[in-house]
Amino acid sequence: MSIIVHHLENSRSQRIIWLLEELGLPYEIKRYERHPKTQRAPDSLKAIHPLGKSPMIEDDGEVIIETAAIAEYLVAKAGGKLGAPKDAKGARQYVQYLHFAEGSMMPPLYGLLVVGRLGLLGLPARKPVGQMVTDLLVWLETELAERDYFAGGELTAADIMMSFPLEACQTRAGLDQRFPNLQAWLKRIHDRPQYQMALEKGGPYAYA
């Protein structure tokens, strides 16, 4: 039986489809639409797991949640493909960025989203929260000064994890020509046929 990806449109679960394309594992997608006003996931996702968040996958009758945990599971299932590089430094960078994406990038990006929705009420928070994102981008830009990918010279699952927050930064949080290394990295990943195939299969995605 193939893996089922429960995929919410325009969301971070796009990464799991891309990862599966790269790994060449058989899978099928169940798509879910966001509520047009609230942008929340539909309740039908809660029938799969009580938290009702995306991504979730089902494999061998088990439901797995949390993007990085799913990524680790799939990399292991594919025999370590796109997993940690062999050298110790690359292996550390791999683990760091696998978790940095959700742990350090997403909280201020989510903060910006909430602040934006508050309208005038959120105005005082816009600059400081925006600065938190900029601080992260400034550091990440230096990280990619001497290597093409976050854990070394080759694409790994850590890059796939970093794609969603950095795409969100490019479309709505100031990742522009001030960050040429990050822009080059985005182009590098977007040029991959597997990335393009995942976009085609995943449906609406407002960040690429």
Ligand X SMILES: N[C@@H](CCC(=O)N[C@@H](CS)C(=O)NCC(=O)O)C(=O)O
| Alpha-carbon gap, residue 189 to 159, rounded angstroms | 8
Site string for ligand X, 88-127 (x = CB under 6 A): --------------x-------------------------
Our finding on whether 148 is near ligand X (CB under 6 A) is no
Q: Are 158 and 151 in contact (CB under 8 A)?
A: yes
Cβ-Cβ contacts under 8 Å for 120 (sequence gap 6 or more): none
Q: Which of 3, 6, 7, 11 binds ligand X (CB under 6 A)?
A: 11
Three-class DSSP labels, 118-183 = CHHHHHHHHHHHHHHHHHHHHHHHHHCCCCCECCECCCCHHHHHHHHHHHHHHHHCCCCCCCHHHH
Q: Which of 29, 41, 98, 133 binds ligand X (CB under 6 A)?
A: 41
| Alpha-carbon gap, residue 90 to 120, rounded angstroms | 44
Closest approach of ligand X to the CB of residue 141, in Å: 24
Our finding on whether 6 is near ligand X (CB under 6 A) is no
Q: Which stretch binds ligand X (CB under 6 A): 50-58, 122-130, 136-144, 173-181?
A: 50-58
Q: Which of 67, 93, 156, 170 binds ligand X (CB under 6 A)?
A: 67
| Alpha-carbon gap, residue 101 to 95, rounded angstroms | 11
Nearer to ligand X, 41 or 115 (CB): 41
| Alpha-carbon gap, residue 57 to 3, rounded angstroms | 7
Count of residues of this chain found to bind ligand X when the rule CB under 6 A is applied: 11
Q: Which stretch binds ligand X (CB under 6 A): 48-56, 79-87, 125-133, 186-194?
A: 48-56
Nearer to ligand X, 73 or 148 (CB): 73
Applying CB under 6 A, the residues found at the interface with ligand X are 8, 11-12, 40-41, 53-55, 66-67, 102
